[in-house]
Amino acid sequence: MTKTWTATFALALIVGCSGGKGTSASDTSDNSSTSSSSASASSTSTSSASASSTSAGSQTGSTSAGSASASAGSSGSSTGAVFIVPPDGGVGQCDPLAQDCPEGQKCTAVSPMEGEPWGVNVCVDVMGDGQVGDPCDVMNGKYTGLDNCAEGFICLLTDDDGVGGTCVEFCNADMLCPQSGAMCSVYNDGSLPICLANCDPLTQDCAVGQGCYPAAGGGTFVCFKTSVGMGEGGVGDGCNYTNQCQPGLMCAAPELVPDCAESGCCSPFCAVSEGNGVCLQGQECLPYFEMGSAPPGYEDVGVCALP
């Protein structure tokens, strides 16, 4: 039976994936608050995606639960969440892949309106020379794009005031990450094509304050800052973004989680070989990827879901 997983990130990015009955979202947001179409990067947010597939993790991502989206650089299908939504680029005055702004400026992602995560691309003055992994800050709020990272980079994973972030590489025109060697994932309607480190959702091997969430397209998993408040994002809690769940959990479609009355609810990753021990009553540990489609090292990854 086919399932669809739906969830999103509350960072500045969000990811989505597809599966049999339900899928998880693929947007991220940088805020600690929840929302229905964004992801996370310290306070970053991205939108989620949903898809359908025969396994608990296979799916296609989209900007909102129930719509499809793709992610560059991923392989295989899954029911996990996706950080970036459409891979065809966001609406704006420039292209972050091409960095086609006038000399002295760079193309970056900003919020289309106050209170929303990144959604459009604009040219801003280059105000620094920060490279991959360098510390950075964003002036006048975390979604303004006014940071001290170099051309081709954006400051993500900041706090709510835009402070204490890290310079992250934009993917290039070939959807590759030449500076970091990371995976290119496209979030937030294409406005946020970024390079994120791969990770293992079962061991949660990301840095402190980050979680391992489904990448855009659901083909693998990437590290991103969690966007949850104190006492939020636990098993069964409602969510709108993938990173609005605690590390070790993903934002799954409501039909996959018992008594879920929200647009999505947090559900645990699980090891298929170890059975249903970490799942809620009535759930089963279902393979995240369809049989034979899991990337090397991810064959045992599952998600707790109602059959």
CA dist., res. 63 & res. 84, Å (int): 8
In a domain, 195, yes or no: yes
What are the tens digits of pLDDT across the range 43-97? 333 333 332 333 454 332 332 322 222 233 333 333 332 232 333 444 578 999 9
In a domain, 187, yes or no: yes
From the list 181, 210, 184, the residue with the least C-alpha distance to 75 is: 184
Q: Is residue 176 a contact partner of residue 183, using CB atoms and an 8 Å limit?
A: no
In a domain, 228, yes or no: yes
Q: Which domain holds residue 70?
A: 1-88+175-307
Count the domains in the chain: 1
pLDDT band per the 50, 70, 90 thresholds, residue 27: low
In a domain, 144, yes or no: no
Whether 6 shows a pLDDT value over 50: the answer reads no
Place of tokens 């992801």: 39
CA dist., res. 283 & res. 278, Å (int): 9
What are the tens digits of pLDDT across the range 87-124? 344 457 899 999 999 999 999 999 988 878 899 999 99
Q: Which of residues 297 and 29 earns the better pLDDT score?
A: 297
Tell me, what's the pLDDT at 80? 33
CA dist., res. 303 & res. 276, Å (int): 10
From the list 72, 77, 99, 75, the residue with the least C-alpha distance to 87 is: 72
List, in sequence order, the alpha helices (H) in 141-284: none
In a domain, 148, yes or no: no
From the list 78, 42, 81, 44, the residue with the least C-alpha distance to 62 is: 81
CA dist., res. 47 & res. 70, Å (int): 12
In a domain, 109, yes or no: no
CA dist., res. 256 & res. 273, Å (int): 20
% of residues, the chain, pLDDT over 70: 70
Tell me, what's the pLDDT at 113? 85
In a domain, 29, yes or no: yes
What are the structure tokens assigned to 275, written together? 């059975």
pTM: 0.70
In a domain, 137, yes or no: no
